[in-house]
Amino acid sequence: MKITIHGGAREIGGSCIGVQTEDCKVALDYGTKFEESSHNQFPEDFDAVIISHAHLDHSGQLLSLSKKKPVIVGSKITREVTVALLKDMVKVQSQNDYNYPYFKHNADAIKEHWWVRDYVALPGMTIKLHPAGHVAGARMISIHSEDKEVLYTGDFCVHDSEILKGCNTKTLPKKPDAIIVESTYGGKVRSPRNELVDQFFRHMLATMDRKGNVLIPTFAFHRSQEMAKRIDDAMKNGVLPRYNVYTISNLANKITDYFNQNKECFTKMIQQQKQPFKYNHVQHLYRTSQIEEPAVVICTSGFGHAGASLSLLKDWAEDENNSVLLTSGYLPPDSPLKSAKEERKFRNNGGMISVKAEIEQIELSGHADQLELIQMVKKLKPKRTILVHGDIEQAKALSEKIEKITEVWIPEKGETIAM
Ligand SMILES: [Zn+2]
C-alpha cells in the first residue's frame, strides 16, 4: 500500500490523500485551497473518492471530476451540503470569470455519482466511515487492504458542542499500521468550551451595553447554524438581553433547512425538538440594507473575503463601539480579517480602512486541540502517525509530544509513504 499526500501537507487547505494498492486507487478528500488565487491539480484516475466532510478545503475540487465520474462516497448531509456549496461556488466564480469551466449541472453530476454509505467494498479493499464530530455529517475513514489498516481522521472534534456529539474513539480501529491526522491545533491547548462560550457572551454583552454592532463572520455550513442556535438559546434563557440579531446568507439559510430535515446528525436534545434550527430571536435577512442597528449579524464569508461580512467590516470597522467576534482560530494570509486584526487596518479599493472596532478571536472551533490529539494517539497506538492539515510549526509541536509513542511523519506535498 502506498499513501501519497497530494494536498494539505504542511498547510491547511486543498486536502487530498491518495491510497494505492495492487488492485485499487482511492482518494481521501478532494479539496480547494482557501487563498482565492491558488489552484490545485490532483490526479483524476481514482476508482473512488471518499469525502470526509463538506468543508470546501476537503471537497471543493470535486467539480474537476464531474466528467471522469468516479464513485464518490460520503454521508448524506455531506453530499447535500457539498453539492449546495459547489453550486454556490459556480455562481460566484462564473460572475468573476467568463471562462470559468464549470456549470451547475457539473455539481448535479457529482450528486448522481455519490454513494451515501458508511461501508464500501472495493477490489481488495474495505472502507469504513466513522462519526468525526467537527461538523454535521463529518466522518473519519478507515481502510483495510493488503493486511494493512489505515485511519484518516479528516477534521475531527473529541468534545461535544451545543449541537453535535464529539467523535467516538471506542469504535475506531486499534493499533492501526498508520493514522493520518489533522494537526490544525497541534501546538495549541485551548480553554474548555464552556469558558470560551462565557467569554464570547461577555464580549457580546459589553458591545450591547454601549449600543454597538457585533459582526460575526462565519462559514455558511454548520458554524452559522451553531452560532444562531447558541445566541437564540441564550436570549431564550435570559443569558443575553433582547437585541436585533440577524443571519445574512441565502446559502446558510438553505443549509439550515437541510439541518431541520436531517436531525439525526445531531445530539439527542436537538433531535427531540420539532424544528431545532427555527429560531425565535434570530431573523434571516436578504441584504445588509435591511439591518436595523444596533445589531448582531452572523454572516458569510467566514474569512471576510467577500459578501456581507466584508461589506459590514467596511461599514463598522472605524467605530470603536462596534466589535468583530472571530470564532475560527485560522485566518488565511490574504484575508481582510487577518490584517484588520493584526495590523488594525485593511485594504479597500486601493485605499486603507483603519480599524477602531474591537476584534476578538475566541476559538470555538470544531477541531481537536493538542491535548485531544495526543489522547487520540495514545488510545489508538498506531505504528505510524502522518501529520497533515496544519502549518509546519503546529505539526512539529505535536510531533515532539508524540514521537516517543509512535513513528511520526510530516510529509511534504507530493510525498509518497510506502506501508
Ligand atoms: Zn473542516
Q: Are 193 and 362 in contact (CB under 8 A)?
A: no
Contact between 169 and 192 under an 8 Å Cβ cutoff? The reply is: no
How far away, in angstroms, is 115 Cα from ligand 1 center? 20
Distance of alpha carbon 154 from alpha carbon 54, whole angstroms: 11
- How many whole angstroms from 224 Cα to the centroid of ligand 1? 14
Q: Which residues contact 333 (CB under 8 A, 6 or more apart)?
A: 35
Q: What is the mean pLDDT of each run of 10 residues along the chain (419 residues)?
A: 96 95 97 70 95 96 90 97 95 89 94 96 97 97 97 96 93 96 95 94 97 96 96 97 96 95 94 95 96 98 91 97 92 90 92 96 93 97 97 97 97 96
Give the Å distance between the CA of 134 and the centre of ligand 1.
7
Where on the phi/psi map is residue 341: left (φ > 0), alpha (ψ -120 to 50), or beta? Answer: alpha
Locate cell 471530476: which residue?
65
Is 29 within 8 Å of 58 (Cβ atoms)? yes
Contact 345, 354 (CB under 8 A): yes
Distance separating alpha carbons of residues 84 and 166, to the nearest angstrom: 25
Strand order in the sheet with 2-7: 114-116, 71-74, 48-50, 25-28, 16-20, 2-7, 416-418
Ligand 1 center to 21 CA (angstroms) = 27
Spacing, Cα 255 to ligand 1 middle (Å):
16
Q: How far apart are CA 354 and CA 110, in angstroms?
A: 43
Ligand 1 centroid from CA 289, angstroms:
31
Q: What's the CA-to-centroid distance between 196 and ligand 1, angstroms? A: 20
Ligand 1 centre and the CA of 271: distance in Å? Answer: 23
Q: C-alpha dihedral over 133, 139, 143, 144, to 10 degrees?
A: 70
Tell me the sheet residues that pair with 148. Answer: 145
For 307-325, the DSSP string reads HHHHHHHHHHTT-TT-EEE
> In the prediction, which pLDDT does 36 show?
55
Between the CA of 409 and the centroid of ligand 1 the distance, in Å, is 22
| 3-class DSSP state of 306 | coil
Q: Give pTM, 2 decimals.
A: 0.94
Q: Which amino acid is at 3?
A: I
CA 46, 57, 352 angle in degrees (round to 5)? Answer: 145
- Residues with Cβ within 8 Å of 90's Cβ and at least 6 positions away in sequence, in order, are 63, 100, 102, 103, 104, 106, 107
How many Å lie between the centroid of ligand 1 and the Cα of residue 209? 34
CA of 153 to the centre of ligand 1 (A): 11
Centroid of ligand 1 to alpha carbon of 210 (angstroms)? 35
Asked if 33 and 40 touch (Cβ cutoff 8 Å), the reply is yes
- Sequence-ordered alpha helix ranges (H) in 113-222: 193-209
Distance 367 CA to ligand 1 centre (A): 8
φ/ψ (deg, to 5) at 407: -75, 125
Q: If you measure from the C-alpha of residue 54 to the centroid of ligand 1, how many angstroms do you get, rounded to a whole number?
A: 7
Total number of residues shown for the chain: 419
CA–centroid distance, residue 40 to ligand 1 (Å): 18
Residue 55 Cα to ligand 1 midpoint, Å, equals: 5
Q: What is the sign of the dihedral through the CA atoms of 341, 343, 349 and 354?
A: positive
Q: Counting runs of H as helices and runs of E as strands, what totals does the chain give?
A: 11, 22
